Amino acid sequence: MAKRETNKMRLRRRPRRMRSRTFVRDLVAQSNLASRDLIWPLFIHAESTPAAISSMPQVQRLDEKSLLARCERASRLGLSAVALFPCLADDLRSADGREAWNDDGLVQRRIGAIKREFPDLGVMADVALDPYTEHGHDGLLAEDGSVLNDETVACLARQALSLAGAGADIVAPSDMMDARIGVIRESLEHAGFSDTLIVSYAVKYASAFYGPFRDALGSAAKLKGDKRTYQMDFRNRREARLEAELDVEEGADMLLVKPGMPCLDIVRDLAELSPVPVLAYQVSGEYAMLAAASEAGWIERTPAVLESLIAFKRAGASGIVSYWAAEAAEALGELTGA
């Protein structure tokens, strides 16, 4: 027996023992991250070359060829899906966003191209009118400038049907209108798209962290007012439960919480109460903060990115939508002691 040093305390519990060796740390790690946990959001446009987005370093609006190259990388890395967001030319934007349900629209064409080349890669398509409206809101506007609920829901159902018809595996309503999940589910069933999944952005707060995304879509300058009459007030927690319960009742297959890191408490709440899996969206502003701080040399990029993603898993998320998805999947080995 090793001789006791006289200046040592006799402790029964030394939590540090469990952290003292790499293999023990890896053996008992409670949360883990796999490339299958990740969904990669990609911005697309109809141009023939990619374009930079100033508030999101290294993220681009992609032309078809570079989009397919990203999808090849996503498949190779084993990411579960890509999520498409279009940046439209001004002349395709209108008051009612009708381009959203054009079966030959940009997103619809790109979904077809991806599914032809990478049939096993999941494709998620956003359901909301903001890329398509000239005013940048997610729904239709009344004369007084308010956002109409029921009339918008009818448009969203048309958009969801068009995206499902183009081959989207998942339609993801991000608009926060009341009752849209039920109406979309009903329309999909009616049209025979019974295998199309609905990921509901059930709990979406009106957030300052969406700023860079609106730059990417070109809707920041267009947006009149804000989205606080439909997106949730970030001072509230109870309401998240109501939104989640309604969407589950209406037929959502998964729920999504957004923004991500500011809402880890909500991810945890939903993970505990929801009968369906919960995803988190690490949004554009969160990406921009990590990118900026690491570019300035203030934080170390890869460890910070992995830590931020593990935080969602620890909170109970089944998966994460993140602009870091591919880079994180490439760096997964760094999570363990290896």
258 labelled catalytic:
yes
User: Is residue 324 within the footprint of ligand PBG (CB under 6 A)?
Assistant: no
Alpha-carbon torsion angle 201, 205, 210, 214, nearest 10: 70
User: Is residue 123 within the footprint of ligand PBG (CB under 6 A)?
Assistant: no
Nearest distance in Å: CB 1, ligand PBG: 58
Residue among 128, 156, 177, 267 that touches ligand PBG (CB under 6 A): 128
Residue among 60, 108, 162, 284 that touches ligand PBG (CB under 6 A): 284
Nearest distance in Å: CB 260, ligand PBG: 9
Q: Which is nearer to ligand PBG, 128 or 325 (CB)?
A: 128
Q: How distant, in Å, are the alpha carbons of 140, 161, 178, 180 from that of 154?
A: 10, 11, 12, 8
Q: Which of 3, 8, 115, 204 is catalytic?
A: 204
Please count the other Cβ atoms lying within 10 Å of the Cβ belonging to residue 113. Answer: 16
Q: Which is nearer to ligand PBG, 53 or 335 (CB)?
A: 53
Structure-block tokens of residue 214: 């609106």
Q: Which is nearer to ligand PBG, 173 or 335 (CB)?
A: 173
Ranges within 205-264 binding ligand PBG (CB under 6 A): 210, 213-214, 227
Nearest distance in Å: CB 89, ligand PBG: 18
Q: Which is nearer to ligand PBG, 76 or 289 (CB)?
A: 289
Nearest distance in Å: CB 176, ligand PBG: 8
Contact between 308 and 282 (Cβ < 8 Å): yes
Q: Which is nearer to ligand PBG, 283 or 326 (CB)?
A: 283
Q: Which is nearer to ligand PBG, 62 or 335 (CB)?
A: 62
Residues 6 or more apart from 282 whose CB is under 8 A from it?
A: 259, 260, 261, 308, 309, 312, 320, 321, 322, 323, 324
227 labelled catalytic:
no
Q: What is the DSSP letter of 30?
A: -
Residue among 37, 99, 130, 269 that touches ligand PBG (CB under 6 A): 130
Q: What is the C-alpha separation between 264 and 205, in angstroms, rounded?
A: 13
Nearest residue to ligand PBG by CB is 213
Q: How distant, in Å, are the alpha carbons of 45, 47, 218 from that of 94?
A: 17, 20, 14
Nearest distance in Å: CB 131, ligand PBG: 8
Rounded-to-5 percentages of helix, strand, coil across the chain: 45, 15, 40
Helices (H), 202-252: 211-217, 238-250
Contact between 155 and 100 (Cβ < 8 Å): yes
User: Is residue 138 within the footprint of ligand PBG (CB under 6 A)?
Assistant: yes
Residues 6 or more apart from 30 whose CB is under 8 A from it?
A: 314
Alpha-carbon torsion angle 315, 318, 321, 327, nearest 10: 90
Peptide bond before 259: cis, by omega within 30 degrees of 0? yes
Nearest distance in Å: CB 192, ligand PBG: 26
Residue among 108, 152, 162, 174 that touches ligand PBG (CB under 6 A): 174
Residue among 99, 126, 215, 243 that touches ligand PBG (CB under 6 A): 126
Residues lying near ligand PBG in the complex (CB under 6 A): 126, 128, 130, 138, 174-175, 210, 213-214, 227, 283-284
> Catalytic site residues?
204, 258
